[in-house]
Amino acid sequence: MKFYDCKTAPSPRRVRIFLAEKGIEAETVEVDLGSGEQFGEAFRKINPDCTVPVLELDDGVCISDVLGICRYLEALKPEPPLFGRSPVEQGLVTMWNSKVEQQGLMAMADAFRNSVAGLKGRALPGPRSYEQIPELAARGRERVLAFLGKLDDRLRDSRWLAGDAFSVADITALVFVDFARRGKLTAADDAEGLKRWYDEVSARPSAQA
């Protein structure tokens, strides 16, 4: 099993944390996104979408999507469960994970990729070039702040995002909150629910991954 990673990018960090929580070790290959290694012929054979993370299995099958990789790892090693145990837990974990991806991470990606000078013509990942749209960056920042407030509301009532147990939804949310902090977007000072959760989740050893 070979894990194609990039230490500075948020998406592969989700998998690194997941691997750490499961106690699974994988051979890691660092892909230099800054120099455009993802567009080279060798990497395109691994993932024609030119993105990381990718998990290459021993038989050559490549899973090139965070959630696909995490589901594979969960099936391979069910303990500790990170996608919920009971039917209702599984539903809530998937729901919260989707909310964080769609309302948090995607909004932050819009804010970041449509504003950073080094990403001109690279507003979306992948082999095709897309121009930046400054209005999308502004809307992304607004959506990130709104979603941080929504997370705070939820975490005032619930220890973990999907309920009583730590799950993949908490991993996705941690990566989102840290990505937003890098972009200087943080929750309001009185966001006590989010702060309590953030302190707890970032104290787990896996958060260093």
Ligand X SMILES: N[C@@H](CCC(=O)N[C@@H](CS)C(=O)NCC(=O)O)C(=O)O
Output the residue with the shortest Cβ distance to ligand X. Answer: 51
Task: Map the footprint of ligand X across residues 59-78, applying CB under 6 A.
Answer: 65-66
Binding flag, residue 47, ligand X (CB under 6 A): no
Binding flag, residue 52, ligand X (CB under 6 A): yes
What DSSP assignment string belongs to 157-178?
Answer: H-SBTTBSS--HHHHHHHHHHH
Tell me how far, at minimum, the Cβ of 113 lies from ligand X, in Å.
Answer: 8
Taking CB under 6 A as the binding criterion, the range among 50-58, 79-87, 140-148, 170-178 that sits at the site for ligand X is 50-58
C-beta of 52 vs 161, nearer to ligand X: 52
Q: Which of 3, 4, 5, 9 binds ligand X (CB under 6 A)?
A: 9
Can the peptide bond before residue 10 be classed as cis, meaning omega within 30 degrees of 0?
no
Tell me how far, at minimum, the Cβ of 167 lies from ligand X, in Å.
Answer: 17
> Whole-angstrom Cα distance, residue 189 to residue 180?
15
Q: What length does the chain have?
A: 209
> Whole-angstrom Cα distance, residue 51 to residue 53?
6
Largest pairwise CA distance in the chain: 51
Binding flag, residue 37, ligand X (CB under 6 A): no
Tell me how far, at minimum, the Cβ of 105 lies from ligand X, in Å.
Answer: 9
Where b means 16+ CB within 10 Å and e means fewer, 128-151 reads: eeeebeeebbeebbebbbebbeeb
C-beta of 33 vs 201, nearer to ligand X: 33
C-beta of 55 vs 155, nearer to ligand X: 55
Are the C-beta atoms of 185 and 141 separated by less than 8 Å?
A: yes
Positions that interact with ligand X (CB under 6 A): 9-11, 33, 38, 50-53, 65-66, 122, 125
